Structure formats: C-alpha cells, structure tokens
Amino acid sequence: MKKRGKSSDYLTLEFPASSCADLELVRSAFADVVPITPHGRVIPPPSRPPPIPLSRMRDEREVIYESMHDPIRWDEATENGEELSFVRPGLSRLILRRLRRGEWVSQAELDLHGLTRRDAKIELANFLFECKRHGIRCIRIIHGKGLGSINREPVLKLHVRHWLMQREEVLAFVQARPVDGGGGAVMVLLKSNTQR
C-alpha cells in the first residue's frame, strides 16, 4: 500500500503487473467506494491488568512478620527464675500437678534443637497439627537450654511457651521433669478430638 499525494490521506492499492483490462475492471468495481477517514474510527482502549492490592499484601506481610517476631511477656515468674506453666482458663490447676508428676505419658515428641526461631515455629505448628490429626493428647517439646547459643541463653524456650499459649488445642503445659529434659523441655497436654 502506498499513500497518494501529500494532501490526501487516502490509501491506494498497487496491483502487480497485469492486463489493462483487469485493472480497468477493478477500478470500475471500486468507483463508488468512499474511503473511511481515520478520525471516524473507534479504537477500544487496551484491557488493563487487574490491580495489585499492594496495601493488603503489605498488611499481610506485616502480620506474618509480627507473628514470627512476637513479643515475649516477661512476667514475674520468668524474672524470679521459676518454671513457667500454663493452664487454659476454666480448667483445674490439678492438670498442672498431674503433668508435673508424669501421670500422662508422652505419646510424641518434637526436638527443636538448632532450629532458627522461624523454622521452629513452623515445625511446632506442623507437629501440633499432626498430633491433633492422630488424636495424640500428651507431647514433649524439646527446645533446649541454650548452652550452645550466644550468652548461653535459651533462644527458643520462651518463644515455644508463648506460641503454645496462642494455640487453641493446647490445654496446659509445664516444664518437663529432670528425667524428661528439665528446663530444656516442656510437657504439653492437648485437647482430645471430641472436645470443642
């Protein structure tokens, strides 16, 4: 195709060399045709991609970050060096005594030694899910005493206990007996599958 003249916006077709009769026949067939002017066309806008919810994604990232770096409550029991224990409100404190004495036998255990805080939280969540799925009631979680960490402080000890308090399926927990790991482990009682 080629533009005809500078003042005209019409396009003409150039045909390959053919007989003059064919060329005249084509010209006569197109004699009544009026070219469409460019300004009369409607060009639809290109379709836009769906919007990206940046603020929702940022909020979700912040929630995940906060949950991974959750604040630890340093209560009086921690400052006094006493063992931490937890029993869900509304339950008898006899549960703690029975857990301390080893009246419930540990049916499963999870060792979190050497894991980062992030990996430990993921492993703990997966472990609790599997215990719930299999109907396991009493578990032992080994978080370590921190003897190999910087300043010889237990990195996971308080985090594990804080995470356990947040889990709905956890009824109670106490520091393990010396034979079960002492200050480096915690005994946990979980809800039965029949409890709501």
Question: What is the overall mean pLDDT for the chain?
Answer: 78
What is the pLDDT at residue 127?
A: 93
Residue 47 lies in a domain: no
Mean pLDDT for 6-30 is 69
The H or E element spanning position 54 is helix 54-68
Residues 27, 66 share a domain: no
Predicted TM-score (pTM) above 0.75:
no
Model confidence at 124, pLDDT cuts 50, 70, 90, reads very high
Residues 34, 127 share a domain: no
Residues 29, 67 share a domain: no
Q: Among 189, 84, 95, which Cα is nearest to 136's?
A: 189
Residues 62, 36 share a domain: no
Distance set, CA 91 to CA 100, 104, 191 (Å)? 16, 16, 12
In the chain, the number of structural domains is 2
Residues 158, 95 share a domain: yes
Residue 46 lies in a domain: no
Residue 7 lies in a domain: yes
Residue 110 lies in a domain: yes
Residue 162 lies in a domain: yes
Q: Say how far residue 60 (Cα) sits from the centre of its chain.
A: 8
Residue 177 lies in a domain: yes
The better pLDDT of the pair 153, 159 is held by 159
Domain span including residue 25: 2-40
Q: What is the CATH number of the domain that holds 85?
A: 3.30.1370.110
Q: Among 68, 155, 61, which Cα is nearest to 114's?
A: 155
